[in-house]
Amino acid sequence: MSLSQRYRNPNPEPVPFSLSTLAQAIEVEAPEVVFALLLGSAAEAQDLGGDHGAADTCTVPARSDLDIAVYLEAPPESNTATATSRVPVASPVPATAATPAALRSELDTLLALEAVCERVVPGVRADIGILNSAGVVYRYESLNGRLLVNRDPEAYAAFFSLTCRMYEEQILHFERQLRYRREAASTP
């Protein structure tokens, strides 16, 4: 099988996995993850007992990937939120006693998370999104996912609230643009 075929069809059969095992692995191996959400078809395809046993078993459907969105702790030098900070101004995530002295880069974190996913859900491609720098629509859609890890409930609540408000504002802006375009198109 060529690389492109393998990339398009990574798992020809459904792959069951344990949510708790995935969550524990993320907590242990990625300390900079403040919270993580399971998205997409794997979040929707829960196996409530059945052939696989545990109630926390999910299944990645055939020819699908594992979608995870993570919110990362801000590096120590950016703990004071500013307008250009990668952490939303309304929800700065403070460094904790458990925070490593030098947090890994985003790339290192992504690589560590991919390794975790490959170990827990072998043969399934992982698609990992970083919520800190994501667009408002992706951030909002991620809120429909299943919460895997939540080290700081206050930061999650602030993210949730801010994201919902930003999304509402974005939708109002889109509707206003659409109305202006329709008016301009109907004007002779």
Token output for 21: 């095992």
State how far the Cα of 59 lies from the Cα of 61, in Å rounded to an integer: 6
pLDDT computed for residue 1 by the predictor: 47
85 within 8 A of 74, measured Cβ to Cβ: yes
Closest CA to 31 of 86, 80, 82, 75: 75
Q: What is the pLDDT of residues 143-185, one digit of tens each?
A: 999 999 999 999 999 999 999 999 999 999 989 999 989 988 8
21 contacts: CB under 8 Å, gap ≥ 6:
120
Q: Which domain holds residue 33?
A: 3-186
Q: pTM for this structure?
A: 0.74
Reported as a single tens digit per residue, the pLDDT across 85-144 is 334 444 444 444 444 534 568 888 899 999 999 999 998 899 999 999 899 999 999 999
In DSSP terms, 38 is beta-bridged to 68, 146
As for how many domains the chain has, the answer is: 1
Tell me the two tokens of residue 102: 């030098």
